[in-house]
């Protein structure tokens, strides 16, 4: 989510190391206002097999959890009174590379039945944007207080997705949000990030055995269209390894992508239809002169990207093609003064939303950081430019076509929900429509024979939907890039039906 550098914007194999139940290494970190010193990497002081998450009771000190298959990783977790007083809330860090890198997470139990409800991981995009934004602006249990009506800076969100699911919000890769590295280490590709996600989930879900076998959903938006297909594919492949070795697997139940960047070839065609066609408004908002310019440069843009980014990935040529498309096709949008994430609104404030500045001020308060157990000395930033630049320098968005991952997941029966707000320009719904129609998988012909049909919330049309086998594509009318922010009731209804395996 967010940043002009980006075009748009847990779950892994759990297993036993032998046929017998493994023992987990645990260390209780001292209680203090500051949970652990930077760089602390505690090894086991006592062994146990599994435990209940409810056994984590400290609000100050972290409990460190390790796994014999991941000797260079540990998860530290503590209880918190942050955000939702009706459920158990936990925060913590995944320590990577023997404590050199630290990934921050929030975990909220379900408001309905945490002992049986599904588990979901949510990530924002960028690359480099914090999932705190999704938490406090979109689908989290509380929303940032924009009216100064609360005593603690947040207000209750009745449309939170933890109404029916246990949810992680993860700041990844290292450097994003409250995640940090001790010595400047970085993660610069999605495939490298997937390994850390896998380690985190293995430790967490193997340790807290109440989640074993529970349905797990990988969800996110924007650059999540690049992240999630790769993460889910890594999970699936590791599940296959686990089965061959006689170990248990995690129940990867679906991938959920909102306004995602997936097939880069379709982005610019989609933007043209948003500006100069009727994909968003009944009457195009862009000038005729600008639309003529875009129309005449699109073929060259498409040809250059096909040759240099798709047919053969050639770094210099691909970057030149992308620069040309950005300048000649997408460059005229800046003159419209519209919000790139919601063309029905002006761009106001940092990253086009006033909430981002208020969230930053809130999360930089010492009392809030202490409540969460934040360790990094850095001030909070919605999106970290250094992380974004590192990924963009590696052309991560273009190096591996995400639609190939999605096709592979669909062929193996993993359900995939693609949803899009129709007012987004950055990662627009029309681009998703185009790449889904040409996606190379065995259900393509059936998908393309189906028509869109309306889906209804509270007696009103929320959008259109079409499905084939494990694939579902839904639009949300009148929403922008951040669907739960713009249409909270519709977004919650969508997720509720998806989790219930119900027809839209």
**Which residues partner with 119 through β-bridges?**
166, 216
Decide if pLDDT at 8 tops 90: no
Q: Which of 139-143, 159-163, 352-356 has the lowest mean pLDDT?
A: 352-356
Element (H, E) at 258: strand 251-258
Q: Which of 86-100, 125-139, 194-208, 342-356 has the lowest mean pLDDT?
A: 194-208
pLDDT band at 493 (very low <50, low <70, confident <90, very high): very high
From the candidates 118, 342, 396, 424, give the one annotated as an active-site residue: 424
Residue 102 a catalytic site member: no
The backbone region for 148, taken as left when phi is positive above 0, alpha when psi lies in -120 to 50, beta otherwise, is left
Report d(CA 74, CA 98) in Å as an integer. Answer: 8
Sign of CA dihedral 306, 307, 308, 310: positive
Q: What is the tens place of the pLDDT at every residue in 220-258?
A: 999 999 999 999 999 999 999 989 999 888 889 999 999
pLDDT band at 21 (very low <50, low <70, confident <90, very high): very low
pLDDT band at 48 (very low <50, low <70, confident <90, very high): very low
Report d(CA 313, CA 306) in Å as an integer. Answer: 9
Give the pLDDT confidence score for residue 50 in this predicted structure.
67
**Which residues partner with 107 through β-bridges?**
90, 168
Decide if pLDDT at 2 tops 70: no
Give the pLDDT confidence score for residue 11 in this predicted structure.
33
Decide if pLDDT at 43 tops 70: no
Answer for the pair 134, 221: CB distance below 8 angstroms, yes or no: yes
Answer for the pair 223, 261: CB distance below 8 angstroms, yes or no: yes
Comparing 131 with 250, the larger pLDDT belongs to 131
- Over residues 151-158, mean pLDDT: 94
What are the chain's domains? 1-21+101-279+343-504 (3.40.50.1820)
Neighbours of 75 (CB within 10 A): 24
pTM: 0.90
Render the burial of 110-135: b for 16+ CB within 10 Å, e for the rest: bbeebeebbbbbbbbbbbbbbbbbbb
Give the pLDDT confidence score for residue 42 in this predicted structure.
57
Neighbours of 329 (CB within 10 A): 23
Q: What is the tens place of the pLDDT at every residue in 164-178?
A: 999 999 999 889 999
Residue 113 a catalytic site member: no
Report d(CA 131, CA 137) in Å as an integer. Answer: 10
Comparing 377 with 40, the larger pLDDT belongs to 377
pLDDT band at 40 (very low <50, low <70, confident <90, very high): low
- Three-state SS at 65: strand
Taking the chain, what is the end-to-end CA distance rounded to the nearest angstrom?
26
Q: What is the tens place of the pLDDT at every residue in 306-326?
A: 999 999 999 999 999 999 999
From the candidates 73, 217, 481, 485, give the one annotated as an active-site residue: 481
Give the pLDDT confidence score for residue 27 in this predicted structure.
39
Decide if pLDDT at 472 tops 80: yes
Q: What is the tens place of the pLDDT at every residue in 175-188?
A: 999 999 988 888 88
From the candidates 222, 233, 253, 382, give the one annotated as an active-site residue: 222
Q: What percent of the chain has pLDDT over 90?
A: 71
Decide if pLDDT at 64 tops 70: yes
What are the percentages of helix, strand and coil residues in the chain, rounded to 5?
40, 20, 40
Write down the residue that tokens 């590192």 correspond to.
390
Decide if pLDDT at 29 tops 60: no
Residue 362, Cα to own-chain centre: how many angstroms?
A: 22
Instruction: Give the burial class of 211: count Cβ atoms within 10 A of its Cβ; 0-12 exposed, 13-18 middle, 19 or more buried.
Output: buried
Give the pLDDT confidence score for residue 46 in this predicted structure.
37
Decide if pLDDT at 13 tops 80: no
Residue of 101, 18, 76 whose CA lies nearest to 376: 101
Residue 222 a catalytic site member: yes
- Half-sphere exposure at residue 149, Cβ-oriented, CA atoms within 13 angstroms: 7
Report d(CA 77, CA 483) in Å as an integer. Answer: 30
């Amino acid at each position: 989510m967010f940043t002009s550098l980006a075009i748009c914007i847990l779950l892994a194999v759990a297993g036993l190391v032998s046929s017998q139940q493994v023992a987990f290494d645990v260390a209780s970190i001292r209680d203090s206002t500051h949970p652990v010193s930077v760089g602390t990497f505690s090894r086991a002081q006592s062994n146990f097999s599994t435990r209940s998450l409810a056994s984590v009771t400290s609000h100050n000190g972290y409990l460190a959890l390790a796994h014999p298959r991941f000797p260079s990783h540990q998860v530290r977790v503590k209880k918190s009174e942050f955000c939702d007083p009706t459920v158990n809330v936990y925060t913590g860090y995944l320590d990577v590379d023997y404590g050199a890198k630290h990934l921050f997470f929030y975990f909220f139990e379900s408001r309905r039945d945490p002992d049986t409800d599904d588990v979901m991981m949510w990530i924002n995009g960028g690359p480099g944007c914090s999932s705190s934004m999704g938490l406090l602006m979109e689908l989290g249990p509380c929303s940032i207080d924009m009216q100064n009506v609360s005593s603690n800076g947040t207000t209750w969100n009745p449309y939170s997705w933890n109404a029916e699911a246990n949810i992680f919000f993860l700041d990844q890769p290292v450097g994003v949000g409250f995640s940090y590295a001790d010595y400047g280490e970085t993660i610069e590709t999605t495939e490298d990030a997937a390994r850390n996600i896998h380690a985190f989930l293995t430790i967490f879900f193997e340790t807290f055995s109440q989640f074993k076998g529970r349905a797990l959903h990988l969800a996110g938006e924007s650059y999540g269209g690049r992240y999630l297909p790769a993460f889910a594919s890594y999970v699936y492949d590791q599940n296959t390894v686990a089965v061959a070795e006689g170990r248990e697997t995690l129940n990867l139940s679906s991938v959920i992508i909102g306004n995602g960047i997936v097939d880069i070839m379709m982005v610019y065609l989609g933007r043209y239809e948003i500006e100069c066609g009727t994909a968003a408004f009944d009457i195009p908002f862009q000038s005729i002169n600008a639309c003529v310019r875009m129309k005449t440069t699109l073929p060259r843009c498409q040809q250059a990207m096909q040759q240099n980014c798709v047919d053969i990935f050639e770094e210099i040529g691909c970057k030149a093609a992308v620069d040309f498309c950005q300048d000649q096709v997408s460059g005229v949008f800046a003159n419209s003064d519209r919000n790139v994430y919601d063309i029905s609104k002006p761009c106001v404030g940092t990253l086009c939303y006033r909430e981002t500045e208020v969230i930053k001020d809130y999360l930089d308060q010492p009392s809030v950081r202490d409540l969460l157990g934040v360790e990094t000395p850095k001030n909070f930033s919605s999106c970290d430019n250094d992380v974004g630049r590192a990924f963009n320098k590696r052309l991560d968005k273009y190096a591996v076509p995400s639609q190939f991952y999605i096709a592979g997941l669909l062929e193996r029966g993993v359900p995939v929900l693609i949803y899009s707000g129709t007012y987004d320009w950055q990662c627009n719904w029309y681009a998703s429509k185009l790449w889904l129609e040409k996606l190379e998988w065995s259900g393509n012909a059936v998908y393309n024979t189906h028509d869109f049909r309306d889906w209804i919330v509270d007696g009103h049309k929320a959008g259109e939907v079409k499905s084939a086998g494990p694939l579902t594509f839904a639009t949300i009318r009148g929403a922008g890039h951040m669907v739960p922010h713009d249409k909270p009731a519709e977004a919650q209804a969508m997720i509720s039906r998806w989790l219930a395996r119900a027809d839209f």
